[in-house]
Amino acid sequence: YVTEENQRKRSTSIATVLEVVSNSGQGAAAGTSAPAVFTDLSTAQRLQGMEGQLNTIYYAVDDLHDEAPAITTVVESIEHHLDSVMLAEDVGLSIATDEATGAISVSSERGLGRLSGDDVLALRSNLTELGLTSMMEVLQVPLIDVEHNDEPLLTLASNAIHTLDEGQRALWHASDSGFGFQIDGNGEAWVWRASEGETLHDFTLSSDGQYGIAAHSTGLMVGFENEVDDEEWAVFDSSGVMHVVVEFNGDWWSVEETNSSIVLHQFSTDLSTHASHQLDLQVPSKIVDIELMIDDRMYLEIEGLLSVDRYSTSTVSLNASFEPYALGEWPNGTLSAEVMSPHERCDDGASLHHSSSDQYWCTYEDGLLRWEPSTGLIESIRLPVLSSAGGFGTMPQMLLAFGGSNAPITTENRTIQVSQRLLELNLIEDVDSFWIKGLIPYAFGDNDAYRLTYSGSYSEIEGLEGLSELDPVVLGFVSLTDAEQLASAGENERSLVVLSQENDAAAVEGVRSWFDDRADAEDLNLAVRPVKVDAAALASESSGVLAAMFLVFGSFTIAAGVLLVLTIVLMLAEARRGEFGTLRSLGMSQSDARSLAVMEGAMVASLSGVVGSLVGLGLAWFISIGFQNMFSSVGSGQFLFEWTWSSLFAGWAWGFLLAIITLWGTAVWTARTNIVVALRGGREVQSNSVSWLLVLCQILFFGAGAFCLSILALLGFSSSFAYFLWVVSGVCMLIATLPFFTVELPSMLKHRHARWAHLHRHAGRNTCASLGLALLVWTVGLHGLDPIRQGMTPDELSFIVLGLVEVFAGVLLLTSAAPLIVGRLGKSKRLTRRFGPVLPVALAHPLSSPVRTAVVMGMFSITVFSVVVLSGYAEQFDNYSSSFVEEAEGDYELLLTGSRARPIELPLNVSNWNISSQSADAIDSVARIHRSQVFLEDSTGDRMPYLLRGFDENFSSHGGLPLYTWDPSLGTTEEQVWMAVSDRQDLVIVDASFGLESVADGSGLSTLSFSIGESISLIDISNPGNSKIVKVAGFMEQSSYLFSAGVWISDDVAVEQFDARLTRMYVSVADDAAPSEAFVPVDGTGSPMGKPRDVRLATAELSEELEPVLNDEGVQVSIIADEVMVIQSLVLALLAIFEAYLSLGLIVGIAGIGVVTVRSVSERTKTIGILRALGYRRGMVMATFMIEVVWVAVLG
């Protein structure tokens, strides 16, 4: 489609395919779902009628500036250059001077013809600097509808009405510019205007008064009284000029002039059937007019410049022969009834007494008026929608608003001062009011009327002489505040400003220069975009979910690794405690001991970091292969593996830093070893006083909690970090305060009572138990009860912290409970008889090293926690999506899809689809789904655009799609509900998005939420005046918003009222269908559950046969089950990749237990020897270590 003379016209050209390019580089500009045709620039300009014009320029940046920051600098330079060379004229500003008054007018010729609010505001502030004395601001408000006393006033195609007719219900009118009707003369109106440069040549009303037809320069147009909302009820485009149209026996007869010949046409009422015959007549070189009359024969009159030729036929037939008329006096056509005594304001045009409503109408200079004959008072008037305004061309009726110090008139808010044309209504000040709709808000879907009270009229006002040419289209003046709302204008936006100057030339040039300086590329909507940088940012954003999941589960693996390092370091410190004692006795200080441990660990960490980075790189490569295979299954091969040296170094650096921090922390602890105890190999005696390290930790955690609360107060509870800060503050405060009650208070009161002494003796166990329990209550128990947490949304960081804290709390609880459990197990007679002394001996060592046991337990528990959580996600999605196929297809197996631009054009009879008879016999139902787009409006007035789908009777009678819930009064089965909605035009079924809520914050998945029985307003996007109120009859299944989104209604409403197009056809295969013997299924065909395998195979065979037949028609054939399973398998494959990734954590956990076991065996050689000397057999020793390992692993 190309633009010619401000109209979109279809243009067709033929081109030869030179090459099919790959989907890369410039070939990827349109993507896989949007086809593109590439040609040279001059050909593209010629095909689109845009010679010498461009809409995109691509710049290639030098390799030296290929990084994102450098490209951004280049973009800023280009933008600065564009801004510097842009002038006011370039951005559509027109600056003119009135030679008589010296006034300077500034207006815009782009877009809606408005000056930006920023420019107007800045101009007000700079009047003195520019040598100007005052400024008048004008804002135009184009109108679509004006109502007075509940009667629409703007209903005519032109003010020059030449025909008035009474229809069955409506008042019909016609002019040279168009025709229309108004129901009962005061109700809903319909009007059609001929395109610019075209003329309406004839108008005829049908015998029953319901239809009116107009013959115009390019065809015929039919209006129907029962279809007020249709812009075009029936249209016929002709190649020549249609001069006349008449009705005879229910058919339309018209005469067309084309290529110096005359063609006679015969049409049905809706123009759907058509026949024509070229008449063998001598045609004048220039035809002025053609008349056609039909009674028992046809009469044709052709008027040329210098002659009038008349012909007639003996019969009424399309092929009848026209002979020169020689039967006497030429018959006269039927004349419209005329009012005998017209009103004094009527002109010499048409007049009519509308008998059904007892109204008297006539034409006058501004349109139509209705009067009461007994009193002579004018009751109402009708004005044209568009009028010709002097040198401005054809414009809509409008209001004007003035502002500024030089404004000629001041109008109060919510009032209107009307023009002389509206004074015919006999208005009373402060009593009468108008309901007005702005054209621009209406075009954007706002159908609300704005009430303005009549506050007087204006006549000739000084200062408005320059606007006299707008009198035919100006209906009144309003305030700027009202005008901004009626025109959907931004604050301070104006259509025109008029400036008064002190001196002549200097001020004009100053204004022009000022606007030149303010003109920039943004005024022309010119945007300079770094496409590579934007594409990279978009790719990064789209992969954010994957990165977040890697961050979450990778954090648990890192935590397990840190605990493994801690375990190894602790065991090494324990094994080399004697060596450290010897070194300390020889004079080594604590700092030297720490340095020795850290230096030794740094060497190992450096080499391990290099190995880990390389192994991680290999693992990333394997993961990328998994992602590439996953995405290639859905037709995308754009997932590539890439790494940089910086990322490799970052991996090594972070691993090295974590190891060093862990080593340093443990080195600080081990360097404080008592020399005597270390040399003797005994255990350090626990101090009865409170450790200063504990107090320091309490202070640090209290400070961290207070800091989190301060940040939360600063950012607010709506911040994305609010949940994290609130939870972490609670955790920190618990860790800071609980030891006071379990450690410090019993230590201070231990000498006062035996109970306090008992609590002090078991302070460590009590602290672990109470802290673990408190942390679980805070993170889990209060999750659904905490009112502050209800309004917050958790994020990935919160999940990581919660997971680690909950695992830590569980480890603390089990560590504290372990001595009690071991004591009970050691006294169990059943276990003692079964294992003998092996059980208590095996559990004694973990009990004697609680810190090391807790670290190993935590390492294993973190890994298992992350694997179980991810497995739970996979299982939940698998269970949730197991019914997707059934919910998406119902009793249908195939889906044929088209588009609104190219709707499906297939007959319902499958035998006409050019497929084999066996395939046609296998089909037991074909349903049509029409699609449109509407605004949905709830009872509060909130709106959202959404899909409207109209289904036919075949769809409902075949069971439709599965429903989740419905109004029980409509039926007991889904089929009954679909049939009820199909039979009634006031009911709809909606997808699940209008009922589902987010479990995170309770918000709905959709902008609007509905319930069964609730009313919805369906509003036509292109014509907001076309609306329908319906009620929700039911909700579709939960997956419907993914595969069958939309509001489902009877196709009669969708097609007739909302111009829905056929974009979907559901095809059902019979339950007893089977594939042919020659069909060879592809691997995996027939796998979806819910229907017999033969039905699945027959569906696949039918799909293969339909694809080549329908693809040429622009129809895509898809097997519903396959499309659904692709999405399901994609998500499950993604989760499987993460499960494989988390296997690293299991390896770390297993390695930790292995290291602990090996070190335990090596450091307990003497203990093993003593046990063997006491009678332990080899199997008992092995059982001891196995029970110990199982104990730790099971608790973890």
pLDDT tens digits for 1170-1186?
Answer: 888 888 888 888 888 88
Q: Is the pLDDT of residue 315 over 80?
A: yes
Report the distance separating Cα 463 and Cα 498, nearest Å. 11
Q: List pLDDT tens digits, range 62-96.
A: 888 778 888 888 999 999 999 999 999 989 999 98
pLDDT for residue 274: 93
Q: List pLDDT tens digits, range 846-871.
A: 777 777 777 777 777 877 777 787 77
Report the distance separating Cα 387 and Cα 397, nearest Å. 7
pLDDT for residue 351: 92
pLDDT for residue 340: 58
Q: Is the pLDDT of residue 570 over 90?
A: no
Residue 217: which pLDDT band, with cuts at 50, 70 and 90? very high
C-alpha distance from residue 331 to each of 255, 558, 1045 (Å): 18, 102, 62
User: Tell me, what amino acid is at 241?
Assistant: V
Of residues 267, 195, 187, 263, the one with CA closest to residue 234:
267
Which position has the token pair 């390992």? 1189
pLDDT for residue 686: 59
Residue 185: which pLDDT band, with cuts at 50, 70 and 90? very high
Q: Is the pLDDT of residue 648 over 50?
A: yes
Q: List pLDDT tens digits, range 968-993.
A: 999 999 999 999 999 999 999 999 88
Q: Are strands 298-304 and 308-312 parallel, antiparallel or unpaired?
A: antiparallel
Looking at the DSSP bridge assignments, the partners of residue 433 are 453
Q: Is the pLDDT of residue 873 over 60?
A: yes
Q: List pLDDT tens digits, range 695-736.
A: 888 899 899 999 999 998 888 888 878 888 998 999 999 989
Residue 619 makes CB contacts below 8 A (sequence gap 6+) with 1141, 1144
Residue 161 makes CB contacts below 8 A (sequence gap 6+) with 173, 174, 175, 349, 350, 363, 367, 368
Element (H, E) at 193: strand 189-193
Q: Is the pLDDT of residue 1134 over 80?
A: no
The CATH class for the domain spanning 160-334 reads mainly beta
pLDDT for residue 661: 81
Report, as an integer, the average pLDDT of 669-680.
Answer: 63
Question: Half-sphere exposure of 604 toward its Cβ, with a 13 Å CA cutoff?
Answer: 13
Residue 333: which pLDDT band, with cuts at 50, 70 and 90? low
Of residues 175 and 468, the one with the higher pLDDT is: 175
Ramachandran angles phi, psi of 180, nearest 5° = 180, -170
Of residues 661, 568, 561, 655, the one with CA closest to residue 617:
655
Report the distance separating Cα 278 and Cα 679, nearest Å. 124
pLDDT for residue 32: 44
Residue 239 makes CB contacts below 8 A (sequence gap 6+) with 256, 258
Percent of the chain predicted with pLDDT > 90: 31
pTM recorded for the entire structure: 0.65
Report the distance separating Cα 888 and Cα 97, nearest Å. 67
In total, the chain counts a number of residues equal to 1196
Q: List pLDDT tens digits, range 380-426.
A: 999 999 988 766 678 899 999 999 888 888 899 999 999 889 999 98
Which position has the token pair 């993170």? 779
| Helices and strands (H, E) in the chain, number of each type | 32, 45
Retrieve residue 11's tokens. Answer: 């243009």
Residue 686 makes CB contacts below 8 A (sequence gap 6+) with none
The DSSP result for 664-732, as a single string, is: HHHHHHHHT--HHHHHHT-PPPPPSSPPHHHHHHHHHHHHHHHHHHHHHHHH-TTSTTHHHHHHHHHHH
Residue 603: which pLDDT band, with cuts at 50, 70 and 90? confident
Of residues 371, 393, 373, the one with CA closest to residue 381:
371
Report the distance separating Cα 219 and Cα 238, nearest Å. 5
Residue 319 makes CB contacts below 8 A (sequence gap 6+) with 277
The three-class DSSP label of residue 1142 is helix
Q: List pLDDT tens digits, range 1054-1066.
A: 998 888 999 999 9
pLDDT for residue 25: 57
Residue 31: which pLDDT band, with cuts at 50, 70 and 90? very low
Percent of the chain predicted with pLDDT > 70: 88
Retrieve residue 1119's tokens. Answer: 């097997």
Residue 504: which pLDDT band, with cuts at 50, 70 and 90? low
Q: Is the pLDDT of residue 149 over 90?
A: yes
Q: Is the pLDDT of residue 219 over 90?
A: yes
Report the distance separating Cα 1169 and Cα 919, nearest Å. 83
Report the distance separating Cα 848 and Cα 857, nearest Å. 15
- From 448-462, 658-672, 959-973, the region with the lowest mean pLDDT: 658-672
Q: List pLDDT tens digits, range 877-925.
A: 777 666 777 778 888 889 998 887 778 888 888 888 888 888 888 888 9
Kindly list the domain boundaries of the chain, sorted by start residue: 2-83, 160-334, 543-588+618-638+647-688+750-876+1142-1182, 931-1062
Residue 443 makes CB contacts below 8 A (sequence gap 6+) with none
Q: List pLDDT tens digits, range 1108-1132.
A: 888 777 788 888 888 887 777 777 7
Of residues 770, 766, 772, 777, the one with CA closest to residue 727:
777
Of residues 534 and 515, the one with the higher pLDDT is: 515
Q: Is the pLDDT of residue 795 over 80?
A: no
Report, as an integer, the average pLDDT of 309-325.
Answer: 91
- Pick from 7-21, 577-591, 684-698, 707-721 the range whose average pLDDT is largest: 707-721
Which position has the token pair 């009860």? 785
Report the distance separating Cα 291 and Cα 279, nearest Å. 15
Q: List pLDDT tens digits, range 11-25.
A: 788 888 888 877 665
| 412 conformational bin, left if phi > 0, alpha if psi -120 to 50, beta if neither | beta
User: Tell me, what amino acid is at 629?
Assistant: N
- E-strand ranges in 970-1039 read 987-990, 1015-1020, 1027-1036
Of residues 749, 576, 545, the one with CA closest to residue 667:
576
Report the distance separating Cα 568 and Cα 589, nearest Å. 23
1027: how many CB neighbours lie within 10 A of its CB? 17
Of residues 1189 and 553, the one with the higher pLDDT is: 1189
Retrieve residue 441's tokens. Answer: 């808000």
User: Tell me, what amino acid is at 384?
Assistant: P
Element (H, E) at 955: helix 953-957
Report the distance separating Cα 200 and Cα 194, nearest Å. 7
Q: Is the pLDDT of residue 1011 over 50?
A: yes
The three-class DSSP label of residue 1168 is helix
| 445 conformational bin, left if phi > 0, alpha if psi -120 to 50, beta if neither | left
Report the distance separating Cα 427 and Cα 421, nearest Å. 12
Of residues 102 and 233, the one with the higher pLDDT is: 233
Residue 872: which pLDDT band, with cuts at 50, 70 and 90? confident
Of residues 88, 63, 61, the one with CA closest to residue 76:
61
User: Tell me, what amino acid is at 749?
Assistant: L
> How does DSSP classify residue 529?
-
Q: List pLDDT tens digits, range 444-482.
A: 777 889 999 999 988 656 656 556 667 788 999 999 999
Element (H, E) at 446: none
Residue 687 makes CB contacts below 8 A (sequence gap 6+) with none
Residue 768: which pLDDT band, with cuts at 50, 70 and 90? confident
Cβ contacts of 667-672, under 8 Å, gap ≥ 24: 667/569, 667/593, 667/594, 667/597, 667/598, 667/601, 668/594, 669/573, 670/573, 670/577, 670/580, 670/593, 670/597, 671/580, 671/590, 671/591, 671/593, 671/594, 671/597, 672/590
Q: Is the pLDDT of residue 303 over 80?
A: yes
